[in-house]
Amino acid sequence: MKRLEKRESNQPSSSRVYSGEDGQQYQYDRGADYRPKRPEGRLFIFDPNTITPEGWQQLGLREKTIKTILNFVSKGGRFRKPIDLKRIYGLFPDEYERLAPFIHIETPA
């Protein structure tokens, strides 16, 4: 932690201010470019309508995102085009770009 100082840049960031035991204020600063590390996955061709939770994990998605996708599918949601996966809340654009070439959706007969 560092002592609370006046912010000089106008860049947005997530800051939290804490008071120490000595009465001084300290600031925890997480810059705008901060992003939690995500697991890298193994890429393979998949159908987002039929893939298992384990398959999503192998692709490197986070648990929260996997739950969101599974909830969507369990409620009757369907991915008709690969770009439909982009609408999933919590799926980052760079994750979609990484997965897009491997999405293969089976068309119903």
pTM, entire model: 0.63
The whole-angstrom separation of Cα 101 and Cα 49 is 16
Question: How confident is the model at residue 87, as a pLDDT?
Answer: 94
Tally of domains within the chain: 2
Shared domain for 26 and 40, answered yes or no, is no
What token pair was written down for 52? 């298992």
Shared domain for 27 and 51, answered yes or no, is no
Question: How confident is the model at residue 108, as a pLDDT?
Answer: 73
Give the domain CATH number at 108: 1.10.150
Shared domain for 25 and 42, answered yes or no, is no
**Domain assignment of residue 25, given as a range:** 1-34
Residues of the chain scoring pLDDT < 70: 1-20, 25-39, 109
Question: How confident is the model at residue 20, as a pLDDT?
Answer: 67
**Which string of DSSP letters, residue by residue, matches 46-79?**
B-TTT--HHHHHHTT--HHHHHHHHHHHHTT---
Shared domain for 93 and 41, answered yes or no, is yes
Amino acid making up residue 27:
Q
CA distances, 19 to each of 13, 38, 66, 79 (Å):
19, 32, 38, 49
